[in-house]
Amino acid sequence: MGPIAKEHKGNIIREGNRRLVVIPDDFFLEGEKIIIRQERDGAITVHPAEDAAREAMRDRFNPFTEWENDTWPETVKPFE
């Protein structure tokens, strides 16, 4: 089984009528476009919007792959 979920405390940056959230470098998010979803309990999730990006995320975080030493996979490098 893979590592536990990551968590990061951050700030909401206000810019006019928008609120911005910075995603830390050690969180992997593929693609250029995202889908933002808010659940009834207030939880907000962010997902890649493009098919190729979703596929890359699925390949990287396959729950059926055993990860060495419970570390995050390094088969796909984060943006550099």
21: number of Cβ within 10 Å: 11
pLDDT in tens, 28-56: 788 889 999 999 999 998 889 999 988 88
Measuring CA to CA, which residue among 24, 9, 30, 28 is closest to residue 71? 28
Is pLDDT of 78 > 70?
no
For the ranges 16-20, 28-32, 56-60, the one whose mean pLDDT is highest:
16-20
Residue 79: per-residue pLDDT: 46
Measuring CA to CA, which residue among 23, 24, 26 is closest to residue 72? 26
What gap in Å lies between CA 16 and CA 38, rounded to an integer?
Answer: 21
Measuring CA to CA, which residue among 43, 39, 78, 71 is closest to residue 57? 78
49 close to 35: Cβ distance less than 8 angstroms: yes
